[in-house]
Structure 1
Amino acid sequence: MRRLRWLLPWLAVLLLAGCEETPTGRTQLALVPDGLMAELGERSFAQLRERRAPARDAALNRRVQCVARAVVDAARRHYPEVAMPEAWEVVVFDAPSPNAFALPGGRIGVHAGLLRVAETPSQLAAVIGHEVAHVLADHGNERLTQQLGVKAALLVVGLVSEGELAGEPLMRALGIGARLGLTLPFSRTHEEEADLMGLEIMAEAGFDPAQSVALWRNMAAAGGDGPPEFLSTHPAHDSRIEALQAHLDTARRLGRDAAPPACG
């Protein structure tokens, strides 16, 4: 208990120092230094490049590079107050799954299989815009902070309950409660925020925002029935499409004067 009393004031200072706002104005807690996040992103990307071969299709690489450049430039214009990497590394991996990701420090990975679902440059822009939005909103930092916080809470419970018969069952119960009550909903919040930020970014770049809806319809057709939404880290396809449709008018106004990029 003496150690706990000493720790709590420092924990409170860290929490206050880490409170920030995402580009949409949502309050978040992100305690990991930006330099460390960039280093983790660089290390993870290097490991992925060692394990996965790059795609050799020149036309596919040109299309992905073109869309990624347009999306990154639009993100810089649309969120000028957000610190962004000066240069972004974009790699297309020879992997069949319809997947893409962006990492802190300015790294974007696209699986070749995504191009079977993202059938147009605008649909590809919806995916890349979504992934870049995760980086701009510091979601990786927030998720890592959250995971560390859950573990710290379980550690505190373990210290307080030490020697009590109910200690271990209580920790297991809190672990389940943290997963269903905190971790998954928070992750869905990230996905929903990245969807709307990515929609605005792709529209700013000159891509057709309505193609984001077409993309998720393709995803739903390719993926089949998913788990119940309350047990998923991602919104259900219907919920995601409904939210995007509600934001289309705003996105269209943003892209009204933008010339569509010639990404083939």
Structure 2
Amino acid sequence: MVHRLHITVGMLLMLVASAASSVQLAYEPVGLGWSDDEVEHASAVQMDALAERAEAAHQMGCSAHCARLQRVFSRLVAGAKLQTTRSATLGWSLLVVRLPDVQAMAMPNGRLAISEAFVDRHLQTDETLAFVLAHEMIHSILEHERQALTFAQLMLPRQIVRSVRDMYVEIDFNLSLLMAMEPVMQQGEYEADELGLLLASAAGFDPDRQIAFIEAQCRADTGRQPLVATHPPACQRLQALESLLPLARRQRPAGMN
């Protein structure tokens, strides 16, 4: 039986109301171009297109992991809402599809998506699922999309006024700009990894078991990099996470499994 699971804050169980959810880990981004609404409106097209594609392929909703997805997401949202002034106002939601070519993604407005096919292949435990979802939440909390767009704008002639949609077109077709953005995009991934690990640990998920996802990616890494690598090499990500484990272990509330 297929369940059309679309988890919203109104459906959350709020399982973590303890000190774990009161830990503030993130910074409030400043000096960014455009407004929240402009970036959210322009980027929402991608999530809408994903939902339409899943509907057309009859791959919308969860099938085997409904309860687990809701349970893990619920625990993470409680802490995510306390990170910044803005994150407290986001309408956190999780769209579940079953498309085999989709992994996990986040929009600037707190809308996340994940594929059960990806969960089946790579996220066998609650801890690895929590790590991936928390990673995506940090992208929304720290406004990484808006940060990247602001950086890209600074690399272009300043006398031309550009909308957010203009910037997306420029990034799609300007290879030199995309290459210049590579360090910024990779730094965003490091931040999402590290703060995601801490956020999930504060929600009670064992950090040592969370990083099993990146450990598997590191073992499978062939060392070949694309022309523009938006993500750092998996083994470098793992090394950064391992260095953070002592702090992550202290974030986890005592007695939580």
Indicate whether the TM-score tops 0.5. Answer: yes
Distance of 1:95 and 1:40 partners within structure 2: 23
Query: How much does 1:41 deviate?
Result: 4.0
SS in 2 for 1:200: helix
Distance of 2:244 and 2:29 partners within structure 1: 21
1:227 to 224, 229, 246: 224
1:133 to 130, 138, 141: 138
2:39 matched to which residue of 1?
37
Distance of 1:177 and 1:38 partners within structure 2: 25
2:39 partner letter:
M
Q: Percent identity?
A: 25
Deviations 1:14-70, CA, capped at 9 Å, x for gaps: xxxxxxxxx655976421201222323433322221112344544312222221121
1:188 matched to which residue of 2?
186
1:149 partner letter:
L
1:4 matched to which residue of 2?
none
1:167 matched to which residue of 2?
none
2:51 partner letter:
R
Distance of 1:108 and 1:81 partners within structure 2: 19
SS in 1 for 2:207: coil
1:251 matched to which residue of 2?
248
SS in 2 for 1:108: strand
Residues 34/80 of structure 1: CA separation in 2 closer, same or farther (3 Å cut): closer
1:183 partner letter:
M
Distance of 2:248 and 2:190 partners within structure 1: 15
2:213 matched to which residue of 1?
215
Instruction: Judging by fraction of residues, say which structure has more helix.
Output: 1
Q: Residue 203 of structure 1 contacts residue 255 of structure 1 at CA under 8 Å; is this kept in 2?
A: yes
Query: How much does 1:179 deviate?
Result: 4.2
SS in 2 for 1:210: helix
| Aligned pairs for 1:117-132 within 5 A | 117-132=122-137
1:103 matched to which residue of 2?
107
Q: Residue 88 of structure 1 contacts residue 107 of structure 1 at CA under 8 Å; is this kept in 2?
A: yes
Distance of 1:60 and 1:234 partners within structure 2: 27
Query: How much does 1:220 deviate?
Result: 3.6
| Aligned pairs for 1:77-88 within 5 A | 77=82, 79-88=83-92
2:238 to 228, 235, 241: 241
2:22 matched to which residue of 1?
none
The unaligned stretches of length 5 or more in structure 2 are 1-24, 162-173
Q: Residue 29 of structure 2 contacts residue 143 of structure 2 at CA under 8 Å; is this kept in 1?
A: no
Distance of 2:129 and 2:92 partners within structure 1: 17
The unaligned stretches of length 5 or more in structure 1 are 1-22, 157-174
| Aligned pairs for 1:192-207 within 5 A | 192-207=190-205
SS in 1 for 2:231: coil
CA RMSD of aligned residues (A): 2.8
Distance of 1:117 and 1:75 partners within structure 2: 23
Q: Residue 218 of structure 2 contacts residue 238 of structure 2 at CA under 8 Å; is this kept in 1?
A: no
Distance of 2:187 and 2:62 partners within structure 1: 35
2:170 matched to which residue of 1?
none
1:34 partner letter:
D
Give the length in aligned residue pairs. Answer: 217
